Amino acid sequence: MKKQYIFVFLATFFLHVITFAQVEKIYSNQMTSEEQALIDDSYLPTMSLNAIVTPPTSPVRAAAEWEEVQTLFITWTSFPAILREIIKNAQQECQVVVVCTDSNTVKSNLSSNNIPMTNVGFLQKPFNTIWLRDYGGNTVYENGVADRLFVDWIYNRPRPKDDTIPAAIASMYNIPHYSTTTPPNDLVGTGGNFMSDGRGTGFSSKLILNENQGTGFSPSAKTEQQVDSIMHRFLGIDYGRYIKMETLPYDGIHHIDMHIKLLDEETLLVGEYPQGVADGPQIEANLQYVLANYNSVFGTPYKVVRIPQPPENGAYPNTTGAYRTYANWIFVNKMILLPIYETQYDTTALRILQESLPNYNIVGIPCNDIIQQSGAIHCITHTLGVENPLLISHQALDDTYNSTSPYNITALIEHRTGISAANVMYRLNNTGNFMALAMTNIGQNMWTANIPAQNVGTEIQYYIDATATSGKQQVRPITAPNGFWDFKVLGGVATENGISESAMMPIFPNPASALTCIPVKMDKPIAASIDMYDMLGKKVQTIFEGTIPAGESKYFFFANKFTAGIYNVVLQTTKSRYVQRVVVK
């Protein structure tokens, strides 16, 4: 902690408030030269009034963006046309609260532009800028889905009015407000540089490390381990699961929401440039680092969806083009608010997102003006999760060559009052009504059911429907029944380059509680390994390593040696990788 921290705080704070009045009109998401002049060894961050500065006493979980949203927040200032579009559309899915200094002015503007206000509220507070994503707080739940908390950090800009907004939001909803503003728990952060999978995994650029070195905003220097510890205790990011990527040469703010986004627990949407252009090489290097060193929370490799970043008049950020991006969008329950720029590029982005997130209502909002200031839709919005979420987390099934054994569906399903019933709703070949298949609680909030085996050529579509003891009902995907997961039963045997190599047959019994069999069929001898991973991607046992002979062979493990839960059994050869989930009772 800096010398005389407590004694100089008030004097320094008021000095900066006075100084800031000279640079109050700020549009850019980047720091202005006037602001930069404030950042020296004497700078002290704004203290969050009435915030709890010690970590929550119970384990916490930072919500993922695709979870249930109660309220979307925006700040009414510059770029009113964009703000009007956000309000018009988002209020169809949740409450919209407008942070403003005069609600009557906002109401008049909305009314004169024929924007309804059927689900709109106002929070009259002074502010500095539009970039609410960065200075807003994060929805966090104790013990998975219990008490809702609001957590924010030291904002990485000298904007004292912005810094008070999280406390105002927490007060508005009577939510406990936690803040990482006081040593030894002081941490500088910004909302655009953080995303959570809702299961203990966090992503940031290394800006989070660079800005916590004891200079500028940071009262005390932090090692990476200390940063990880604060993120774990305040936001529930598991040790070893806070993934940090190199900053990008042409992204001046170094926020990951400009080029990467989680679509679900195991899928990364990644902004793509032409080969060798702008930040493309560093983004690709970062992606390959993640894929080589981390699995998803399900213990399997991340899936990747690439989306082209559009040029501006043929120019990219390395040749004076704006940092146009299709990654800077936001989930609002069943809706996606997407920045758009030019039809010739927008149509490709819309197609990719619609294929990746079926039946979401994707609303494009023109952002050519605001992107000049290094931000778009995600940067100017933030959300508050619902008070009592019904959480459903499930790894969707991939296409399979199995036409003889049932297809196991397993999901984490929880609500603070408990779950009274859960069903897998499925149908075949996109015809008829969905059929209900009751799921069984196997402990630790894990539920399972088996869809019957189907003939080769069948397409299975399904979703999960759960009801809490309180009566609350939820589905996943959140767009169900119009949106759903699907997989196909393929013919033949799994191949690599068209040459039949191997297949891991259905493991049995599954769920498992004692001796468990892994049948394997190879068309020729091949070097391989069979390993078992937990849901954090940690290898818990090597079941076999060596040469698997041609023909059918069987390998075994004892399920009763493991803690109850879900595991992935992975057969890896030099050419292929096969994965099956096993439920240990």
Token couple for 477: 């995907």
Which of 488, 519, 551 is the C-terminal boundary of a domain? Answer: 488
pLDDT band for 146, please (50, 70, 90 cuts). very high
Q: Residue 496 pLDDT more than 70?
A: no
Of 89, 27, 93, 32, nearest in space to 340 by CA: 89
Which of 351, 385, 419 is the C-terminal boundary of a domain? Answer: 385
Whether residue 33 is found in the same domain as residue 12: yes
Tell me the per-residue pLDDT of 268-287, one tens digit each, with 9 for 90 and over: 999 999 999 999 999 999 99
Q: Residue 152 pLDDT more than 50?
A: yes
Per-residue pLDDT, 522: 85
Token couple for 51: 């915030």
CA 201 to chain centre: 9
Full DSSP string of 231-298: HHHHH-PPTT-EEEEPPPSS-TT--GGGTEEEEETTEEEEEE-STT-TTHHHHHHHHHHHHHH---TT
* Domain assignment present for 142: yes
Whether residue 242 is found in the same domain as residue 351: yes
Token couple for 287: 């992606």
Tell me the per-residue pLDDT of 74-130, one tens digit each, with 9 for 90 and over: 999 999 999 999 999 999 999 999 999 999 999 999 999 999 999 999 999 999 999
Helix or strand run (H / E) with residue 446: strand 446-451
Whether residue 149 is found in the same domain as residue 172: yes
Q: Which residue would you say has higher pLDDT here, 439 or 16?
A: 439
Per-residue pLDDT, 12: 39
Tell me the per-residue pLDDT of 360-378, one tens digit each, with 9 for 90 and over: 999 999 999 999 999 999 9
The CA distance from 380 to 82, in Å, is 10
Count CB atoms within 10 A of the CB of residue 475.
Answer: 18
Q: How many helices (H) and strands (E) does the chain have?
A: 10, 36
Q: Which amino acid is at 272?
A: E
At which residue do the structure tokens 């500095």 appear? 128
Whether residue 411 is found in the same domain as residue 443: yes
Q: CA separation (Å) from 413 to 58, 185, 422, 466, 472?
A: 20, 32, 8, 8, 13
Q: What is the pTM of this model?
A: 0.85
pLDDT band for 515, please (50, 70, 90 cuts). confident
Residue 260, class by beta-carbon neighbours within 10 Å (0-12 exposed, 13-18 middle, 19+ buried)? buried
The CA distance from 100 to 123, in Å, is 6
Whether residue 325 is found in the same domain as residue 443: no
The CA distance from 463 to 2, in Å, is 54
Whether residue 297 is found in the same domain as residue 269: yes
In which domain, by residue range, is 533 found? 500-584
Q: Residue 47 pLDDT more than 80?
A: no
Whether residue 448 is found in the same domain as residue 306: no
Whether residue 132 is found in the same domain as residue 199: yes
Per-residue pLDDT, 330: 98
Measured CA angle at 162 (ends 161, 163), to 5 deg: 90
Is beta strand 69-75 parallel, antiparallel or unpaired with respect to 95-100?
parallel
Dihedral of the CA atoms 118, 124, 130, 136 (nearest 10)?
-90
Report the percent of the chain where pLDDT is more than 90: 72
Average pLDDT, the chain: 89
Of 95, 61, 233, nearest in space to 173 by CA: 95
**Which residue blocks in 43-164 are alpha helix, DSSP H?**
80-90, 103-112, 132-135
Whether residue 284 is found in the same domain as residue 411: no
Q: Residue 392 pLDDT more than 50?
A: yes
Q: Which residue would you say has higher pLDDT here, 181 or 537?
A: 181
Per-residue pLDDT, 526: 87
pLDDT band for 22, please (50, 70, 90 cuts). very low
* Domain assignment present for 379: yes
Q: What is the mean pLDDT of residues 398-407?
A: 86
The CA distance from 172 to 384, in Å, is 12
Per-residue pLDDT, 19: 37
Q: Which residue would you say has higher pLDDT here, 71 or 533?
A: 71
At which residue do the structure tokens 């970062």 appear? 286
Q: Residue 581 pLDDT more than 50?
A: yes
Which of 442, 466, 488 is the C-terminal boundary of a domain? Answer: 488
Report the percent of the chain where pLDDT is more than 70: 90
Tell me the per-residue pLDDT of 218-256, one tens digit each, with 9 for 90 and over: 778 999 999 999 999 999 999 999 999 999 999 999 999
Measured CA angle at 125 (ends 120, 131), to 5 deg: 80
Q: Which residue would you say has higher pLDDT here, 396 or 514?
A: 396
Beta bridge partners of 512: 584
80 DSSP assignment: H
Q: What is the mean pLDDT of residues 290-313?
A: 94
Q: CA separation (Å) from 54 to 49, 147, 181, 542?
A: 14, 17, 10, 41
319 DSSP assignment: G
Per-residue pLDDT, 20: 38
* Domain assignment present for 259: yes
Whether residue 456 is found in the same domain as residue 571: no
SS3 121: strand
Q: Residue 21 pLDDT more than 90?
A: no
Helix or strand run (H / E) with residue 35: helix 33-38
Whether residue 475 is found in the same domain as residue 426: yes
Tell me the per-residue pLDDT of 306-353, one tens digit each, with 9 for 90 and over: 999 999 999 999 999 999 999 999 999 999 999 999 999 999 999 999
Q: Please report, for the domain that includes residue 417, its CATH number.
A: 2.60.40.10
Q: Residue 35 pLDDT more than 80?
A: no
Q: How many domains does the chain have?
A: 3
Per-residue pLDDT, 580: 85
* Domain assignment present for 495: no
Per-residue pLDDT, 402: 84
Q: Residue 536 pLDDT more than 80?
A: no
Q: Please report, for the domain that includes residue 567, its CATH number.
A: 2.60.40.1930
Q: Residue 13 pLDDT more than 60?
A: no
Asked whether the beta carbons of 12 and 42 are under 8 A apart, the reply is: yes
Per-residue pLDDT, 521: 86
